[in-house]
Amino acid sequence: MNLGNPAVSLGGITLGTIIVVLVLLRWWKKGGGGGGGKKGDGGSSRDWKQLLPFFGALCFGILAVLAAGPVSALGLITRLSLWGGDGIGYAYLVWGIGGNSPDVTRATAVVLTDGGYAMYAIWAAVMIGSFLWSKKLPKLQTALGVFAGILLGLSQGIAGMAAVPLASAVNAAGSWYAGVVQ
């Protein structure tokens, strides 16, 4: 993969999926899925709302890799993350497991409108501010969500299908925003 034209292999998608599965497994084992909770609380010390920061970060990462151009700070960060994560996933599948890691990149990228980019810029600022200043935000889980989203965002499959509604929602919010400020 070169940094100007992002691509992802099956290894990168696998690593992104592993991150999602491990975060869900950890949440489940700590009591989020019922059972295993503290005594006297009905068996569940966590609920699904504790996963919201992770899934918000996952969506943010999916859009980051699809929307950021190569000549931007966000583009450089996403492409370096994609390149590194894809390399780790490739090595895991090919050298660790003994399989193959073919290219699974979407044929077309999802493009944001000008208003969509404005909304994404606001979302990026909120994500950065929350990450820096929130005492309750699970920082590692959130960072893993962004990283997994970057790895999954270019896939042809499920994460690829999620990119279209995500981009459409951000573009719709951006159209509203652009209409309000003009």
- Boundaries of domain holding 62: 10-29+49-181
User: Is the CB of residue 66 less than 8 Å from the CB of residue 110?
Assistant: yes
How far out from the chain centre does Cα 136 lie?
20
Report pLDDT digits (tens) over 56-115.
999 999 888 888 777 788 888 888 899 999 999 999 999 999 999 888 887 666 678 889
Instruction: Note whether residue 82 is domain-resident.
Output: yes
Q: How many domains does the chain have?
A: 1
What's the chain's length in residues? 182
Instruction: Note whether residue 114 is domain-resident.
Output: yes
Report pLDDT digits (tens) over 112-124.
888 999 999 999 9
Instruction: Note whether residue 155 is domain-resident.
Output: yes
